[in-house]
Amino acid sequence: MFSIGARMQKKFLNEKVRNFPASNKSLSEKGYRNFALIEGKLSSDSIDDVILRRGSARRFDDLSIDFEDLSIMLHSATRVIPADFLPSGLPALNEIYLIVNAVDGLRAGSYFFDRRQDTLVLLKEGNFRREAGVLGLGQELAADASVNVYFLSNLEKVQSVFGNRGYRAAQLEAGIMGGKLYLGAYSQRLAASGLTFYDDEVISFFEPHANGKEVMFLVLLGRRKNSRSPSWNCTLKLNSSPFYQFGDQV
Ligand SMILES: Cc1cc2nc3c(=O)[nH]c(=O)nc-3n(C[C@H](O)[C@H](O)[C@H](O)COP(=O)(O)O)c2cc1C
């Protein structure tokens, strides 16, 4: 049971949260290429089977996955989260950015996921495997994976609404979406892994679109590799890595 004060505070929060993240309508107006997600369904495997199969991949093959599978994973991970800080029930505190290394039907490059439109917006086309590996704390599995999915949050805005609770709420929301990505991946008989990252460098990589945001979580998606030899060498030093030259990224 809420007191009147608590109800008013909740109403205030709900109105504020509804207003962010900021609308990205202008992206298509600015001429960015959009790729609508392909409609598809998760496999008919039961949740019990998927959970039993789930387990973070330690290595990924550098093979591609289908755009349809990526679409299904993104769509299913960004549906309703029942939480008191999400008035519409939909995730609102994080935005999703991707490095697409190898997806059949999609160009390699960096993307923003406009989840209101279920559309991927191409920020910059190119092969960014090496950069993905460096950003993922120099771990080759980030370069090998088909896709790197980053959750970014504008913490300043979030904290202006929630105070100190904001960081925890943003982390929780990213963690839940990350967990759903895992389930989606193993439902489609693919693999996933949660990874750590170089915070500031990730924001630089996705600049200027990601300006003002901070990284909450990273999930890799792709095909599990069983052999022990890495496909990519990501032992680049940060200050010599090529992504520092990407200041001109859209
Ligand atoms: C926030 C977070 C960051 C992580 N960072 C890394 C990482 O940088 N490298 C790594 O090998 N595992 C990392 N892990 C661990 C793996 O994602 C995975 O959770 C772990 O290997 C356990 O795997 P399991 O799913 O088989 O239990 C991280 C996990 C979390 C939740």
Query: Ligand 1 pocket check: which of 60, 182, 195 to mutate, most ligand atoms within 8 Å of Cβ?
Result: 195
State the greatest distance between any 2 C-alpha atoms of the chain, in Å, as a whole number: 61
150 by DSSP, 3-state: which? strand
Distance CA 196, CA 190 (A): 20
Per-residue pLDDT band at 249 (split at 50, 70, 90): very low
CB-based contact 79:60 (threshold 8 Å): no
Mean pLDDT across the chain, nearest whole number? 86
CB-based contact 222:63 (threshold 8 Å): yes
R_g (Cα) of the chain, nearest Å:
18
pLDDT digits (tens, 9 = 90+) for 61-111: 999 999 999 999 999 999 999 999 998 899 999 999 999 999 999 999 999
Q: Which amino acid is at 54?
A: R
Say if residue 247's pLDDT is above 50.
no
Q: What angle do CA 221, 48, 38 make, to 5 degrees?
A: 40
pLDDT digits (tens, 9 = 90+) for 1-50: 334 334 444 554 555 555 455 445 556 667 889 999 999 999 999 999 99
- Centre of ligand 1 to C-alpha 55, Å, is 10
Structural domains in the chain plus CATH codes: 4-248 (3.40.109.10)
- Centre of ligand 1 to C-alpha 150, Å, is 14
